[in-house]
Amino acid sequence: MSLLTIGTVAFDTIETPFGKAEKIIGGSASYISTSASYFVDYSNIVAVVGEDFPAEALGRLRDRNVDLQGLQIKTGEKSFFWAGKYHIDMNSRDTLDTQLNVLASFDPILPDAYQNSEFLMLGNLSPDVQLKVIKRLQKRPKLIVLDTMNYWMDNNMDDLEKVMAKIDVLSINDEEARQLSGEFSLTKAARKILQMGPNYLIIKKGEHGALLFNEKEAFFAPALPLEDVFDPTGAGDTFAGGFIGYLAQTDDISFANMKRAVIYGSAMASFCVEKFGLDRMWELKKSEVNDRVQQFIDLVQFEIKLD
């Protein structure tokens, strides 16, 4: 059940039609490990921050039982920073600023205690760093999930292909699936992508839900119709955290259980977008998660008896 997440721990400045949040805690590893913390008793992360990163912020992760042995703190350097502004439809955004800082030279160090991790979540990050983590694990994990984005397809496709050849589940959005496969139809895209390495593909469609494919089967989970989407930042990472967190908790990587994991991931993501950054995610109650999953069940449940 041991879960290891690699990704970014960073500062985000986010502007949405509802307001602005300056230099709040973000990064793929922060969202993933926080989301997963509602399923696993503890988890490990490998990431890097600068000395500007506030101890209070790290305390928040520790409070969610995230082990920070694998988090490097670089003296004299600054943390990764991203600033973005969402358009009115919340489905598109402009990146206003990206400062790699510590990420530029990130060399992931795996504490001994993290060897033998059974579940590995490769959060969005440079594919060459993701590759190093896979290589530095002496034993292949039971399940490796990769989340990536179009930026790496544009700029680092060689390394990304190498990572894809070594993973089990790939999680990307619909536009990325189209870019990666050169196919507009998501069914055709899925078939092509499953030949690039992963045995399972998750295509995230934002407010339109998520698809899970393996070679033979497809599963669709809707997104919950929400009153307001306040801030979509981190929704995909939160989904991934719920997905792998649920799989690690149940220690079952069958397709039937992955379908459940997609529902749990979707439920977690539906919380994430309700407030800025991780604000909604720090203090969820288990009963809230269960209620939300029940809403998903109610939303799609129907009974048809075919002759």
In the complex, the residues that contact a copy of itself under the rule CB under 8 A are: 88-89, 184-188, 190, 205, 208-209, 211, 217-222, 225-229, 256, 259-260, 263, 290, 293-294, 297-300, 302-304, 306-307
Nearer to a copy of itself, 42 or 255 (CB): 255
Nearer to a copy of itself, 32 or 263 (CB): 263
- At residue 5, φ and ψ (nearest 5 deg) are -115, 130
> How much is the CA Rg of the chain, to the nearest whole Å?
18
Query: To the nearest whole angstrom, how small is the minimum distance from the Cβ of residue 137 to a copy of itself?
Result: 31
Token output for 120 = 């590995």
Query: To the nearest whole angstrom, how small is the minimum distance from the Cβ of residue 213 to a copy of itself?
Result: 9
Query: To the nearest whole angstrom, how small is the minimum distance from the Cβ of residue 155 to a copy of itself?
Result: 26
Query: To the nearest whole angstrom, how small is the minimum distance from the Cβ of residue 202 to a copy of itself?
Result: 13
Nearer to a copy of itself, 95 or 290 (CB): 290
Query: To the nearest whole angstrom, how small is the minimum distance from the Cβ of residue 131 to a copy of itself?
Result: 31
Token output for 208 = 């339109």
Query: To the nearest whole angstrom, how small is the minimum distance from the Cβ of residue 253 to a copy of itself?
Result: 15
Of the candidates 152, 166, 134, which has an alpha carbon nearest to the alpha carbon of residue 4?
134
Nearer to a copy of itself, 131 or 211 (CB): 211
d(CA 41, CA 91): 33
Of the candidates 202, 247, 207, which has an alpha carbon nearest to the alpha carbon of residue 36?
247
Cα dihedral 20, 25, 26, 30, rounded to 10, equals: -150
Of the candidates 290, 288, 235, 228, which has an alpha carbon nearest to the alpha carbon of residue 266?
235
Tell the residue number behind the tokens 């399940």, with chain if given. Answer: 143
Query: To the nearest whole angstrom, how small is the minimum distance from the Cβ of residue 122 to a copy of itself?
Result: 25
Query: To the nearest whole angstrom, how small is the minimum distance from the Cβ of residue 296 to a copy of itself?
Result: 8
- The 10 Å Cβ neighbour count of residue 229 is 21
209: left (phi > 0), else alpha (psi -120 to 50), else beta?
left
d(CA 156, CA 129): 11
Nearer to a copy of itself, 84 or 209 (CB): 209
CB 125 within 8 A of CB 133: no
Nearer to a copy of itself, 142 or 259 (CB): 259
- H-run or E-run covering 3: strand 3-6
Nearer to a copy of itself, 158 or 298 (CB): 298
